[in-house]
Structure 1
């Protein structure tokens, strides 16, 4: 059992590369399914967000699995190997666990402490469970990551270390166009980020919120939640001419707002500035709109520059300590899982000895009736169970220590257990044997 993560994020790759690597819908499903089908990979979970693409896997062979995952990434993203590999990071075992826990706490986010990543991790696990690619190990890992993230937000002020992408973007908006109270905002998209943007704008006092989405009904639901209005997607250009702010995050594969569209809107409103917040990856808005007069464009890269100093805040150090504690806890769980097959093999060996001796007793004392034989058998089994109870409980407790797996080796030596018999124990049998 080796936990491996291979991925790229805003920390290792420029937005141009992340934009090319972005996957949506069926693309995520296909990549995850292909990775999990590899011979050396037992389980897999794919975390795909606007600024990261990571594959977590439980693998048998490290180098072969890294090569296989890298190859799958090139096939599904369309990036050439030489364009992708300089930006990939690879962590395994404790470092992989630590990385996921940091991600869950928001320490690795573009905006430190943002809690939206927890929902994205939960969604990644749900997809893996739906596709059957997550088993015992990654289920436990991701569930603990979610607990660690919640603990960080409960026990520290990491939420204050950084603000949401939307809030940071709105700070930039007020610098560009002045107070946004009473202004008109056009939001393109109706996903979770767009809904967050709508709610944040409403709290900030924006006067009018318009939602444009390809699926009108979904846009209408978001609009209703903030007292806004929904429009058909083909009316986006018309609404743009009336807006003071444009926020776009659709997850579309190509541009949603082009330069000509923005230029046409600006000609209808001379002297009135427009602020554009593009939170999408790939970009929704043609980056050339920044060259238009009276237009200010802020994208994820600009936001990253604004929040870079948040990682020096004291709450970050508190969360780092929590992560270290939880990594040690998960390592203990891993060791207990590794010792479990030895415990199962020991009990199986004891059962074989009991069965053998009861057969011999039946041959020596044929006069015993069925009730007497059952009583003798139950007595022998109770004696064996009581003798094995303490050492099996203790070895499972001691297995959680850093040197715990060595206790399983001692147990195998003392009882002369066949290593192949131990390796043959399946996960369901392990669960039954250690309960």
Structure 2
């Protein structure tokens, strides 16, 4: 069993990993993305090296793979490189089947879990939301989704090279999750003569089978249905094998001259025993086979177009983030200016008590207009400068020049963060 299979995380394990990551001192935000060929932990950390060490240890702990065994397989990206990586993943550039669109749903799920557990704050929320937009843009503006098929479509195409075309075949789908549901729908559209759905929760199997005109069976019936099937697709969340070599061997013995049995394993960790590859009469296509088969697909022009989109979006995202970091300083500056204006107007009221309401209103408006005009150009320009590479120092310069209270700036940042989290909860 590969390291990736052994390291695959259940939903509960992901939740626990996120909670422990946030409890770790270097991390302020966290989100975990798990797909068939990746487990990625995104975190906002104050100390890079300490953060990498701590998060690597936590990933090893919750995956059950020893750190010394896991370390050679780890990769680390930070700042703009991390943004570039996630945007590339969202566009399907880093998928086993280039351009497959299912990754967008997985990124959305990762963000949703982070929001539900309150581990994804403003920074990761902005990052993942933008990644989703970039992925959608890549699919709408290029042919990447046509060049690279979904795992299900691509996998079935690989399978039918040996088993023959799908119309008239008897199909068994093991599992009733999103990937299994997609496989079942694809098989139904392809014209299989019979569609059988098996799941540990029979009610879910019944709902899926009924929607596609198929038949549902309990999980215990899988060995029996296996012998009657021509094509099998398995994608469950099981941590152990669903179809071992012995079970498949028994099914093959009952099939006699019924033709080859095709099995498509889309699960990670795997559902079907890798030893099935060696069984006469069986043809197994699994995740590793799909990775090798899709490597040579002709899609260079679309890939290049998507890479240009990613590069442009990373630049724009970085500029927006850098500009956003100076916003609390600008707000604190304007708040201080407003307080000065209010104090001076109060002094004026004490010195000139005989002013009527019209005169007082005119003076108030004039003073505020003067202050606004004086602050407009520098605050607009400092936001532009802060958005450029190396522009982080402008916020410090503004605080120093106007002697702004650091606590006032921090208070604006905290209020903005709380407002963002409240907004996120409101959208769910």
Measure how far apart 1:217 and its partner are: 1.4
Measure how far apart 1:80 and its partner are: 0.6
C-alpha change, 1:370 and 1:429, in structure 2 (3 Å) is: farther
Tell me how many residue pairs correspond in the alignment. Answer: 418
Give the Cα–Cα distance (whole angstroms) in 2 for the partners of residues 133 and 240 of structure 1: 43
Confirm or deny that 1:238 pairs with 2:224: yes
Picking from 400, 405, 415, the partner of 2:402 is 415
Give the Cα–Cα distance (whole angstroms) in 2 for the partners of residues 429 and 244 of structure 1: 58
Which deviations, in whole Å up to 9, do the C-alpha atoms of 1:2-35 show, x marking residues without a partner?
Answer: xxxxxxxxxxxxx711111101121111111111
Give the Cα–Cα distance (whole angstroms) in 1 for the partners of residues 110 and 400 of structure 2: 42
Give the Cα–Cα distance (whole angstroms) in 2 for the partners of residues 86 and 430 of structure 1: 36
Measure how far apart 1:161 and its partner are: 2.0
Segments of 5+ residues of structure 2 without an aligned counterpart are: 420-428
**TM-score for both structures, normalised by structure 1:** 0.89
Corresponding residue of 1:123: 109
Does the aligned pair in 2 maintain the 1:112–1:311 contact within 8 Å?
Answer: no
Measure how far apart 1:271 and its partner are: 2.3
Backbone CA RMSD of aligned residues: 2.3
C-alpha change, 1:251 and 1:431, in structure 2 (3 Å) is: closer
Give the Cα–Cα distance (whole angstroms) in 2 for the partners of residues 200 and 111 of structure 1: 17
Which deviations, in whole Å up to 9, do the C-alpha atoms of 1:91-116 show, x marking residues without a partner?
Answer: 01100000000000000001000000
Corresponding residue of 1:195: 181
Give the Cα–Cα distance (whole angstroms) in 2 for the partners of residues 246 and 227 of structure 1: 17
Which deviations, in whole Å up to 9, do the C-alpha atoms of 1:51-78 show, x marking residues without a partner?
Answer: 2111111221111111121111011011
Give the Cα–Cα distance (whole angstroms) in 1 for the partners of residues 310 and 118 of structure 2: 28
Picking from 280, 297, 322, the partner of 1:310 is 297
Corresponding residue of 1:394: 381
Corresponding residue of 1:164: 150
Give the Cα–Cα distance (whole angstroms) in 1 for the partners of residues 232 and 416 of structure 2: 57
Does the aligned pair in 2 maintain the 1:187–1:212 contact within 8 Å?
Answer: yes
C-alpha change, 1:429 and 1:228, in structure 2 (3 Å) is: closer
Picking from 230, 233, 237, the partner of 1:247 is 233
Which deviations, in whole Å up to 9, do the C-alpha atoms of 1:230-269 show, x marking residues without a partner?
Answer: 1111111111110011110001111111222212212211
Confirm or deny that 1:61 pairs with 2:42: no
Measure how far apart 1:208 and its partner are: 1.2
Give the Cα–Cα distance (whole angstroms) in 2 for the partners of residues 135 and 199 of structure 1: 37
Give the Cα–Cα distance (whole angstroms) in 2 for the partners of residues 365 and 398 of structure 1: 43
Does the aligned pair in 1 maintain the 2:148–2:299 contact within 8 Å?
Answer: no
Does the aligned pair in 2 maintain the 1:250–1:284 contact within 8 Å?
Answer: yes
Measure how far apart 1:310 and its partner are: 3.1
Does the aligned pair in 2 maintain the 1:97–1:141 contact within 8 Å?
Answer: yes
Give the Cα–Cα distance (whole angstroms) in 2 for the partners of residues 170 and 364 of structure 1: 86
C-alpha change, 1:424 and 1:64, in structure 2 (3 Å) is: farther
Measure how far apart 1:197 and its partner are: 0.9
Corresponding residue of 1:114: 100
Segments of 5+ residues of structure 1 without an aligned counterpart are: 1-14
Corresponding residue of 1:26: 12
Corresponding residue of 1:38: 24
Q: How does 1:39-188 map to 2 (within 5 A)?
A: 39-188=25-174
**TM-score for both structures, normalised by structure 2:** 0.91
Give the Cα–Cα distance (whole angstroms) in 1 for the partners of residues 329 and 418 of structure 2: 12
Which deviations, in whole Å up to 9, do the C-alpha atoms of 1:353-408 show, x marking residues without a partner?
Answer: 33443454355446668997677555533432343233323322343233543443
Which deviations, in whole Å up to 9, do the C-alpha atoms of 1:212-245 show, x marking residues without a partner?
Answer: 0111111122212322111111111111110011
Measure how far apart 1:136 and its partner are: 1.3
